[in-house]
Amino acid sequence: MRLRLGDIIGLVIAVVITLVLENHMKKCMSKTINRESFPKGFVFGTAAAAFQYEGAVKEDGRGPSVWDTFSRIPGKIADGSNADVAVDQYHRYEEDIELMKDMGMDAYRFSISWSRIFPNGSGQINHAGIDHYNKLINALLSKGVEPYVTLYHWDLPQALEDKYKGWLSPTIIRDFSTYAETCFEKFGDRVKHWITFNEPHNVALMGYDLGFDAPGRCSILLHQLCKEGNSATEPYIVAHNMLLSHALVADLYRKKYKKQGGSIGISLDVIWSEPATNSAENSAAAQRALDFQFGWFMDPLFFGDYPKSMRRRVGSRLPKFSKSQSALLKGSLDFVGINHYTTYYATPSPNITNLLHDYIADSDALTLPFNGTNIIGDRANSIWLYIVPQGMRSVMNYIREKYGNPLVIITENGMDDPNDPLIPIEDALKDEKRIRYHNDYLSNLLASINEDGCNVKGYFAWSLLDNWEWTSGYTSRFGLYFIDYKDNLKRYPKDSVKWFKNFLKPTQ
């Protein structure tokens, strides 16, 4: 076959373009990020929760929580386990702080167990609980690790659930405020970063609509797992009382304890929603999905009321704020904590969803990791967690554009592997997938800061250690450190620990 001059020129151009593209790709692949890629003062840390980590549930005067009760109901936890021991950080906190320090982490986000401070939820203070958290905070600071403290990470004292149904009663606003002020008084001279609630959306949805989490209330169609509840109203009541509790506590902190030199915020979970197709219907569904998950809490905190789509669709079942409550809520935070893991496609809900008579039906937004032709990303171990790094950048820009670019801290981000007893430990430590996950999500976070101007000042990996993962029990491993549940909870560094040590190491 003879080549004409035009064919030869075309072939040469194609080869040159290919070489240029390959060279560009190599440069992109070789471009690495590290601590110094981020703005000066950017904080890196790991995150944990008291109930998932501490264990020692019957020691030093701690009272039971709703999760102690719930985890003992047969069939609620995947492997039938409970968190009585968890990863025993109550006794091993000094060892774990050394692990953080060795990695080069700046901070540790942990939660205080309300029932360690007030075993009955209110009334008499348990000084042994105060002593424990004083020792933990002092140990962190002695190693140069800054404490970021969450006041409520799901473990409501069971006594308050028994007394007045917990978050369903406005009485809890007063009791939460008393608990929070006790923490400010006892620890605020050293704790400069407070988070009132972790993922109130998940508490309302999973605990009071679907009934899958503590306290396990629901009434949706064909759901035989809940003894009581009302899925059409209770999620909204719970969210309302949590928002009012946050506003009151933030106001209290600013008026009486701001002199301690700290800040206060809240941590909200965000699954980014992409329209399943470019249709107007799917775009509207994606916005409703964001309104009903994220806007449910962000809009009151920034605008003083729930999203208009919620007001329109939920109607009289959605509680109303008084003028004074709205004023107290608006601007009641110094930073927004964002827990972001994954992204889904959104479409309008199928008609059958209306039979549920609940929050999910109200939203008219079906969110799934596939759109009929494409899977949105590679899956981690958890059935809900698909790896979509660009979702991080989308969330950051949504916050910047809709809410005026407030200060954001990523308070959780990470992925899990299965707890497979057939995999040797040395193989379980090779977590290249987790390394790619953190690298790619951090790269998108960095782009949102440097290229888009998003106001982000911190990143906390979930989690330092493998731990008790709520209804998944011990079947899920989110940790940078592997926990050997068969050998005295021994901690082993995964390859991701080495990656973070290199990432956080100052360059010369």
Does 194 map to a domain?
yes
Does 101 map to a domain?
yes
Answer yes or no: is pLDDT of 354 > 90: no
The whole-angstrom distance between residue 143's C-alpha and the CA centroid of its chain comes to 26
In terms of Cβ atoms closer than 10 Å to its own Cβ (0-12, 13-18, 19+), residue 322 is exposed
Mean pLDDT of 106-128: 98
Note whether 62 and 117 are within 8 A (CB).
no
The DSSP code sequence of 113-126 is -HHHH-TTSSSS--
Helix (H, G, I), strand (E, B) or coil at 447: helix
Answer yes or no: is pLDDT of 24 > 70: no
pLDDT digit string, tens, across residues 40-56:
999 999 999 999 999 99
pLDDT tier, 222 (very low <50, low <70, confident <90, very high otherwise): low
Answer yes or no: is pLDDT of 476 > 70: yes
Query: Does 59 qualify as catalytic in the annotation?
Result: no
* Beta-bridge partners for 459: 44, 410
**pTM recorded for the entire structure:** 0.93
* Residue percentage of the chain with pLDDT more than 90: 90
Answer yes or no: is pLDDT of 364 > 60: yes
Note whether 413 and 341 are within 8 A (CB).
yes
Does 51 map to a domain?
yes
Give, as one character, the DSSP assignment of residue 189.
Answer: T
Note whether 133 and 112 are within 8 A (CB).
yes
If one counts the domains in the chain, the total is 1
Alpha-carbon span 136 to 54, nearest angstrom: 11
Mean pLDDT of 181-190: 98
Answer yes or no: is pLDDT of 7 > 80: no
Does 21 map to a domain?
no
Does 209 map to a domain?
yes
Does 8 map to a domain?
no
Residue range(s) defining the domain that contains residue 213:
33-504
Q: Find the catalytic residue in 199, 234, 274, 469.
A: 199
pLDDT digit string, tens, across residues 421-431:
999 999 999 99
The whole-angstrom distance between residue 456's C-alpha and the CA centroid of its chain comes to 16
Q: What is the model's pLDDT at position 497?
A: 98
Note whether 375 and 364 are within 8 A (CB).
no
Q: Find the catalytic residue in 146, 161, 412, 469.
A: 412
The candidate with the shortest Cα–Cα distance to 35, out of 438, 415, 474, is: 438
Answer yes or no: is pLDDT of 189 > 70: yes
* Beta-bridge partners for 263: 193
Q: What is the model's pLDDT at position 336?
A: 98
Q: What is the model's pLDDT at position 3?
A: 38
Q: What is the model's pLDDT at position 223?
A: 66
Does 12 map to a domain?
no
- Phi–psi pair at 363, nearest 5 degrees: -70, -25
- Site of tokens 């003894």: 227
Query: Does 199 qualify as catalytic in the annotation?
Result: yes
Answer yes or no: is pLDDT of 382 > 60: yes
CATH code (residue 274): 3.20.20.80
Considering only residues 75 and 225, tell me which one the structure prediction assigns the higher pLDDT: 75
Residue 71's identity, in one-letter code, is S
Answer yes or no: is pLDDT of 30 > 80: no
Does 268 map to a domain?
yes
Token digits of residue 312: 């329109």
First to last CA, the chain: 59
Q: How many CA atoms lie within 13 A of 158 on its CB side?
A: 13
Answer yes or no: is pLDDT of 221 > 90: no
Q: What is the model's pLDDT at position 355?
A: 82
Answer yes or no: is pLDDT of 276 > 90: yes
pLDDT digit string, tens, across residues 58-92:
999 999 999 999 999 999 999 999 999 999 999 99
Q: What is the model's pLDDT at position 508?
A: 62
